[in-house]
Amino acid sequence: MVQVTIYIFVIRKRKDFLLLGSIIFGLVILVVVRLGCVDLLSLRGIFAYKFLGALWKPAALCRLKNIG
């Protein structure tokens, strides 16, 4: 029972951390868009890099290079 509680606690902490990371990432994207440094196609590549996970990261990087 104690192990299960600790496991749930760790998951909850990790979710909070991921949520915080996503919020910060979103704010950075907003600032970049406001400054006009990045067009929407590049943003799509960045989102692919961020959210599709480890398997898709090389493909997303290739897309970013092709777009950029």
Cα–Cα distance, 13 to 35 (Å, whole number): 33
Examine the domain organization and report whether 1 and 30 are in the same domain: yes
Range of the domain at 32: 1-37
Number of domains in the chain: 2
- Dihedral sign computed on CA atoms, order 60, 61, 66, 68: positive
**Is residue 27 located within the same domain as residue 56?**
no
Position 12: which residue type?
A: R
- CA 46 to CA 40: how far, in whole Å? 10
Q: Is residue 1 located within the same domain as residue 33?
A: yes
In this structure, the answer to whether residues 2 and 26 fall within a common structural domain is yes
Judge if 2 and 32 occupy the same domain: yes
**29 and 3 in a common domain:** yes
pLDDT at residue number 25: 73
Claim to verify: residue 68 and residue 50 sit in the same structural domain: yes
Span 17-51, pLDDT tens digits:
666 667 677 766 666 656 555 555 565 666 655 55
Q: Tell me if the pTM is above 0.85.
A: no
Pairwise CA distance, residues 48 & 52, whole Å: 6
Question: At 55, is the pLDDT very low, low, confident or very high (cuts 50, 70, 90)?
Answer: very low
